[in-house]
Amino acid sequence: MSASTQPSSEPVSSKSAPREPGLSTLAVHAGEARQKAAHAITDPIVCASTYTFASTQAVIDYIEQKQDREEYGRYGNPGEKVVERKLAALEGGEDAVLYASGMAAIVGLLMTKLNAGDEVVFFDECYHRSREFCAKHLSRFGVVTRQVKACDYAAMAAAINSRTKLLVSESPTNPHLSVVDLEQFAHLGRQHRVETLIDATLATPYNVQPLKYGIDYVLHSATKYLGGHNDLLAGVIVGSREQLEPVRKLRGIMGAINSPHNIYLLERGLKTFELRMQRHNANGQAVAEFLAGHPRVEKVYYPGLASHPYHDIARRQMRGFGGLVTFLVRGADWKETAAVVDATKLARIAPSLGGVESLIEQPLVMSYYEVSAEDRQRFGIPDNMIRLSCGIENAEDLIEDLRQALEA
């Protein structure tokens, strides 16, 4: 833990630790004061829309930055600061800005960084709502969005010009699990003096820490693995304090903030982050291997399989490959594929991913129902595709469930 990610009121001591603390130690302790309100071991949920000053002088001291404290709920909350420090520590970043959702986080960053006339380049497998926000909405403010084929670095280089301000990708992507070579992506940005953003929601800091590769901003939908329990929405951007300062300021104006109760749920969920990720990774790998060997399965997308086109870069760059597994049901039309989804008894039919409960969906129906067949083909979403987010149930039970669903 760097000094900058530690709160002033001394959390985990780095003096007694001869080594960097592990991820679970950080997940449990980082960002928290050692002694808390009412001597409670847990952080309080501070339900305050505003904060009082003892005197006019105290207001002036605060404005002149002589006193670090809260002022008004839209600008910050004590619990939010704890979670931001914890997330920054987990990601190995200086600072983190927490939002009400992953989308609020990306919108907040893009609105801060882009001006009329600026351009942003996306790898086309990036989260469709992020691309939609740029293409449909930022375009109304004169921002130009370019999209190039995922992991085509030459195409991205060719799309960069003097107006380009940001390169954006997800890694791994959803639902194809393509893995971006982060070193190459960061290099492309530095070479052209363009900032880089990686949406690492599917990877989490357990599997990869993009800042270490020179990426400027890491984005997470904390709704997924970070929260981990399918019971909250939140988003976060991690990066340097300097680069995030204007982002934080705009968040205070946008008001895309979390309720104090939501923040507590996130802090609580994070305590078991590493344990959950180990299980998600193990379940993802076991389920992918099972599916790859099943005669009714035509193809499996999982970076932990040697057959995956990005297996080598994933192995070099990632500690594990996550809980998301995408597969195609051999020779099935959309209805036969839906029948497999409907036959699962353990996995629940729902969008989202990264929670303790396994979730299953058919992308054609869940996300691309209103998209034309041509566009679906262009996006690589065949009718027989199923996306499974492996939860933390026992792998044997998940596999048994899939086996009976495929053979039903």
Ligand X SMILES: *Cc1c(COP(=O)(O)O)cnc(C)c1O
Tell me if residue 249 is catalytic: no
Of the candidate residues 31, 73, 79, 102, the single one contacting ligand X (CB under 6 A):
102
Residue in 364, 361, 362, 353 with CA at minimum distance from that of residue 389: 353
Return the range that interacts with ligand X (CB under 6 A); candidates 219-227, 273-281, 359-367, 384-392.
219-227
235 touches ligand X (CB under 6 A): yes
Pull the structure tokens for residue 35.
């002694």
259 touches ligand X (CB under 6 A): no
199 touches ligand X (CB under 6 A): yes
Return the range that interacts with ligand X (CB under 6 A); candidates 89-97, 146-154, 196-204, 318-326.
196-204
Of the candidate residues 145, 201, 204, 283, the single one contacting ligand X (CB under 6 A):
201
Torsions phi, psi for 297 (to 5 deg) = -105, 125
DSSP class per residue in 299-323 = EEE-TTSTTSTTHHHHHHH-S---S
Tell me if residue 146 is catalytic: no
Of the candidate residues 87, 98, 103, 388, the single one contacting ligand X (CB under 6 A):
103
CB of 164 or CB of 201, closer to ligand X: 201
Cβ 374 to ligand X, closest distance in Å? 24
Tell me if residue 127 is catalytic: yes
CB of 232 or CB of 297, closer to ligand X: 232
Q: How far apart are CA 153 and CA 254, in angstroms?
A: 34
170: part of which helix (H) or strand (E)?
Answer: strand 164-170
Q: Are 251 and 77 in contact (CB under 8 A)?
A: no
Length of the chain: 408
Pull the structure tokens for residue 317.
């760059």
290 touches ligand X (CB under 6 A): no
Is the alpha carbon torsion for 357, 349, 318, 4 positive or negative?
Answer: negative
Nearest residue to ligand X, scored by beta-carbon proximity: 102
Of the candidate residues 221, 281, 317, 389, the single one contacting ligand X (CB under 6 A):
221
Q: How far apart are CA 1 and CA 43, in angstroms?
A: 20
Return the range that interacts with ligand X (CB under 6 A); candidates 73-81, 99-107, 207-215, 311-319.
99-107
User: Which residues, 6+ apart, have CB-to-CB distance to 353 below 8 Å?
Assistant: 174, 202, 224, 225, 323, 324, 359, 387, 389
123 touches ligand X (CB under 6 A): no
Amino acid, res. 32: E
97 touches ligand X (CB under 6 A): no
Site for ligand X in 328-357 (CB under 6 A): none
User: Which residues, 6+ apart, have CB-to-CB distance to 242 below 8 Å?
Assistant: none
233 touches ligand X (CB under 6 A): yes
- Beta bridge partner(s), residue 235: 99, 221
110 touches ligand X (CB under 6 A): no
Q: How far apart are CA 84 and CA 184, in angstroms?
A: 28
Amino acid, res. 95: D
CB of 226 or CB of 332, closer to ligand X: 226
Cβ 322 to ligand X, closest distance in Å? 11
Q: Regarding beta strands 95-99 and 235-239, do their DSSP bridges make them parallel or antiparallel, or are they unpaired?
A: antiparallel
Which one of the listed residues 124, 199, 216, 383 is annotated catalytic? 199
Which one of the listed residues 36, 61, 62, 74 is annotated catalytic? 74
125 touches ligand X (CB under 6 A): no
Which one of the listed residues 81, 95, 99, 127 is annotated catalytic? 127
367 touches ligand X (CB under 6 A): no
Catalytic residue set: 74, 127, 199, 224
Interface residues with ligand X (CB under 6 A)? 101-103, 127, 170, 174, 199, 201-202, 221, 223-224, 233, 235
